[in-house]
């Protein structure tokens, strides 16, 4: 992803030093955020932060970068972030944090399949092309886009690009019950993420059909319909 983004301009890398899958939008308050410069594959140097993805954006924008970035790209994550996964995703959280700060932002995720060899280079090329077109379409500060790429064999290309809404079907969790040596029960989440059945116009359905999905996200979680419906009600207090 870094190598592809350098085709668009100067790239600064600030990332968590450890895997942050399913950490959501947590931030660090009670411990210091340690940083260190790290060279990756002798190709580029970035800053690793001992914190969450949202921490990385906060510290990068306020302290590390020479100026406010023109665009924040989070990922590429090894695993899809479609459907309700966007609420759990640290990758998406970093992009939304950038949108909080008034920056245009994009989260990039790669759907994995065990039978398809893992490859980041070609998906990164396709992601960069979609990012270019997203910016050209008028992505503005405070707006956040989630891009998901299908798993592709070397001879395959994406079926195309689809702008798709987020699927809101629940993800079925499975927990395995076990006992520790002292007889205490504990539970291990044994779920394997699968793209389940959903309406054809959702990110889940389109990604399953090998499309690159583009989903505009927002962090205003207000239910505006209910707000209008309840806004005119008279709310009272009594002695009861």
43 is in which domain, residue-wise? 2-167+197-229
Q: In 55-202, where do the E strands start and end?
A: 72-78, 105-110, 144-149, 161-163, 175-179, 185-189
In a domain, residue 178? The reply is: no
* Distance set, CA 149 to CA 43, 70, 72, 81, 113 (Å): 24, 23, 18, 10, 12
Contact 175, 192 (CB under 8 A): no
Report the candidate in 145, 7, 151, 157 with the shortest Cα–Cα distance to residue 78: 151
Q: Tell me what pLDDT residue 79 has.
A: 93
SS3 238: coil
* Distance set, CA 114 to CA 118, 151, 167, 193, 207 (Å): 8, 10, 23, 12, 16
Confidence of residue 108 (pLDDT cuts 50, 70, 90): very high
Contact 124, 212 (CB under 8 A): no
In a domain, residue 237? The reply is: no
Higher-pLDDT residue of 223 and 239 is: 223
In a domain, residue 157? The reply is: yes
Q: Tell me what pLDDT residue 192 has.
A: 67
Q: How many domains in the chain?
A: 1
Report the candidate in 152, 61, 151 with the shortest Cα–Cα distance to residue 74: 61
Q: Where residue 73 sits, what CATH number does that domain have?
A: 3.40.1210.10
d(CA 86, CA 229): 28
d(CA 26, CA 92): 12
Q: Is 77 exposed, middle or buried (0-12, 13-18, 19+ CB in 10 A)?
A: buried
Pairing of strands 185-189, 175-179: antiparallel
In a domain, residue 175? The reply is: no
Report the candidate in 35, 26, 24 with the shortest Cα–Cα distance to residue 62: 35
- Is the pLDDT at 172 greater than 90? The verdict is no
Q: 202 - beta bridge partners?
A: 165
Average pLDDT value over all residues in the chain: 93
Across the range 92-100, mean pLDDT stands at 97
pLDDT 10s digits, 199-222:
999 999 999 999 999 999 999 999
Across the range 217-240, mean pLDDT stands at 91
Contact 83, 171 (CB under 8 A): yes
Report the candidate in 27, 128, 130, 146 with the shortest Cα–Cα distance to residue 83: 146
Per cent of the chain over pLDDT 90 is: 84
Lowest mean pLDDT among 11-20, 130-139, 163-172, 175-184: 163-172
Across the range 140-159, mean pLDDT stands at 96
Q: Tell me what pLDDT residue 197 has.
A: 79
Report the candidate in 137, 163, 169 with the shortest Cα–Cα distance to residue 148: 163
d(CA 230, CA 84): 26
d(CA 151, CA 51): 29
In a domain, residue 179? The reply is: no
Q: Tell me what pLDDT residue 173 has.
A: 78
In a domain, residue 189? The reply is: no
pLDDT 10s digits, 26-84:
999 999 999 999 998 878 899 999 999 999 999 999 999 999 999 999 999 999 999 99
In a domain, residue 182? The reply is: no
Pairing of strands 161-163, 212-217: parallel
In a domain, residue 177? The reply is: no
Determine if the pTM surpasses 0.85.
yes
């Amino acid at each position: 992803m870094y190598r592809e983004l350098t085709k668009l301009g100067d790239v600064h890398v600030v990332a968590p030093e450890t895997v942050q899958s399913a950490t959501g939008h947590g931030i660090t308050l009670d411990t210091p955020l340690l940083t260190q410069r790290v060279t990756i594959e002798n190709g580029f140097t970035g800053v690793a932060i001992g914190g969450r993805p949202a921490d990385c954006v906060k510290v990068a924008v306020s302290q590390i970068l020479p100026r406010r970035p023109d665009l924040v790209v989070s990922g590429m994550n090894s695993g899809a972030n479609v459907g309700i996964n966007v609420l759990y995703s640290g990758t998406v959280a970093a992009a939304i944090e950038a949108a909080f700060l008034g920056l245009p932002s994009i989260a990039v995720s790669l759907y994995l399949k065990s039978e398809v060899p893992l490859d980041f280079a070609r998906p990164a090329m396709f992601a960069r092309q979609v990012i270019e077109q997203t910016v050209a379409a008028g992505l503005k500060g405070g707006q956040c886009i989630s891009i998901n790429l299908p798993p592709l064999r070397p001879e395959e290309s994406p079926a195309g690009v689809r702008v798709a809404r987020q699927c809101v079907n629940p993800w079925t969790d499975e927990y395995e019950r076990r006992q520790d040596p002292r007889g205490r029960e504990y539970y291990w989440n044994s779920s394997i993420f699968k793209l389940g059945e959903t309406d054809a116009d959702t990110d889940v359905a389109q990604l399953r059909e090998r499309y690159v999905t583009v989903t505009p996200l927002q962090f205003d979680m207000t239910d505006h319909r209910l707000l209008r419906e309840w806004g005119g009600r008279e709310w009272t207090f009594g002695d009861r």
